[in-house]
C-alpha cells in the first residue's frame, strides 16, 4: 500500500485522527515489507496485530499469513477496516483495548502465533510488559515503536539506555533492531524517529531465578535512583539493609556500583541471595 492509497482511504471515509490514541499511519511500502519480512511471517502463522489503522500493514500480513486477527480500540476505524479488507476470508477484527484483552481467548489452539504491530508511542511499554509478563505463547513480537524505546529494549549493561525495560525484555527475549523509520513514512508525521524491533521469545527465561517477582522488584528498586549506588537505591526494597548489604557481599557485588553496571546474571544472583536470606 503506497502513500496515495493510505491518503485516499483517509479522505474517502473522512477519517479524523485522534491525537490521544497516538494515531500515525504508515505510508511507506518498503517499511511495511521490512516489518513483515523481519517478522518472518508465513502461511503457518496466526498473526495478531494491535492498532491496524486503515489496514496498510494488515493487508501485507494477510497476503503472507495463515490468518490475521487485528485489535483496534478506535470504533470509527472498524467499518473502514471491514470494508477495505472484506476480500480476505482469513481476517478477523476485534474492537477492544489491547491492554484489557486476554490474548489466550484469541489464540485458542493455534500453534504458530506471532504478534506484529505499529504501536502508539504512549502505550508501548505497558503493552510490551503485558505481552511478556502474561506469558502468551508468541513465537515473536515484531513492533514499530519510538526509536529511543527500541534502543532501551536492545541495550546491554553499562550503557545509558540500559535499565529495567532492557532487563525485562532480555529476560524473556532475544532482540534485533530491524530498521529505523523516519517521520516522513507516516501520516500525520510524528515528531520523533521510529524503529522496528523484533523480540524473539526464548524457550525459557535467560536466567533461572527462585522468585521471579522478587527478581523484578530488585531491578525496579535498583533503577529507581539510577545515579545512586546500589546500597542507596536498594533501600526501597522492603527488606532490612543488613540483608541487602550481606547479599551484595555474598554475590561479590560492590555496593558502590550503580544498577546500570550489573548484568542480568548478577541481578539474578542477587535476588536469589536475598530470597535465601529472607527465607532462612
- In tens digits, what is the pLDDT along the chain, a chain of 280 residues? 444 677 788 778 767 777 767 788 888 889 999 999 999 999 999 999 999 999 999 999 999 999 999 999 999 999 999 999 999 999 999 999 999 999 999 999 999 999 999 998 889 999 999 999 999 999 999 999 999 999 999 999 998 999 999 999 999 999 999 999 999 998 888 889 999 999 999 999 999 999 999 999 999 999 998 889 999 999 989 999 999 999 999 999 999 999 999 999 999 999 999 999 888 7
Structure confidence at residue 8 (pLDDT): 80
* Contact indicator for 22, 50 with CB cutoff of 8 Å: no
Structure confidence at residue 211 (pLDDT): 97
Structure confidence at residue 1 (pLDDT): 44
Domains of the chain: 3-201 (3.40.50.150), 212-279 (1.10.8.100)
Structure confidence at residue 2 (pLDDT): 46
User: Running DSSP on this structure, what letter comes out for residue 158?
Assistant: T
Structure confidence at residue 137 (pLDDT): 97
- Binding positions for S-adenosyl-L-methionine are 24, 26, 51, 72, 97, 118
Structure confidence at residue 9 (pLDDT): 82
* Contact indicator for 137, 177 with CB cutoff of 8 Å: no
* Contact indicator for 61, 50 with CB cutoff of 8 Å: no
Contacts of 172 (CB under 8 A, 6+ apart): 132, 199, 201, 202, 205, 206
Measured CA to CA, the distance from residue 150 to residue 145 in angstroms comes to 7
- Binding positions are 24, 26, 51, 72, 97, 118
Amino acid at each position: 500500500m503506497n502513500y496515495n492509497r493510505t491518503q485516499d482511504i483517509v479522505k474517502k471515509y473522512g477519517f479524523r485522527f485522534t491525537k490521544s490514541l497516538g494515531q500515525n499511519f504508515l505510508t511507506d511500502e518498503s517499511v511495511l515489507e521490512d516489518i513483515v519480512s523481519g517478522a518472518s511471517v508465513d502461511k503457518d502463522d496466526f498473526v495478531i496485530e494491535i492498532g491496524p489503522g486503515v489496514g496498510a500493514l494488515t493487508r501485507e500480513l494477510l497476503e503472507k499469513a495463515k490468518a490475521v486477527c487485528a485489535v483496534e480500540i478506535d470504533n470509527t476505524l472498524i467499518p473502514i477496516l471491514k470494508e477495505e479488507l472484506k476480500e480476505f476470508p482469513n481476517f478477523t477484527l476485534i474492537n477492544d483495548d489491547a491492554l484489557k484483552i486476554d490474548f489466550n481467548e484469541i489464540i485458542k489452539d493455534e500453534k504458530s502465533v506471532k504478534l506484529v504491530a505499529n504501536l502508539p508511542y504512549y502505550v508501548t511499554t505497558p503493552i510490551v510488559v503485558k505481552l511478556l509478563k502474561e506469558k502468551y505463547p508468541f513465537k515473536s513480537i515484531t513492533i514499530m515503536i519510538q526509536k529511543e524505546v527500541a534502543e532501551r529494549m536492545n541495550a546491554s549493561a553499562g550503557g545509558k539506555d540500559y535499565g529495567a525495560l532492557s532487563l525485562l525484555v532480555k529476560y524473556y527475549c532475544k532482540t534485533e533492531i530491524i530498521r529505523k523509520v523516519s517521520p516522513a513514512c507516516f501520516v500525520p508525521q510524528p515528531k520523533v524517529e521510529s524503529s522496528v524491533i523484533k523480540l524473539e521469545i526464548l524457550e525459557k527465561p535467560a536466567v533461572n531465578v527462585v522468585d521471579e517477582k522478587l527478581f523484578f522488584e530488585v531491578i525496579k528498586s535498583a533503577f529507581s535512583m539510577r545515579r545512586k549506588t546500589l546500597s542507596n537505591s536498594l533501600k526501597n526494597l522492603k527488606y532490612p539493609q543488613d540483608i541487602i548489604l550481606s547479599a551484595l557481599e555474598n554475590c561479590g557485588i560492590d555496593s558502590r556500583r550503580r544498577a546500570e553496571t550489573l548484568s542480568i546474571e548478577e541481578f539474578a544472583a542477587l535476588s536469589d541471595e536475598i530470597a535465601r536470606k529472607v527465607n532462612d
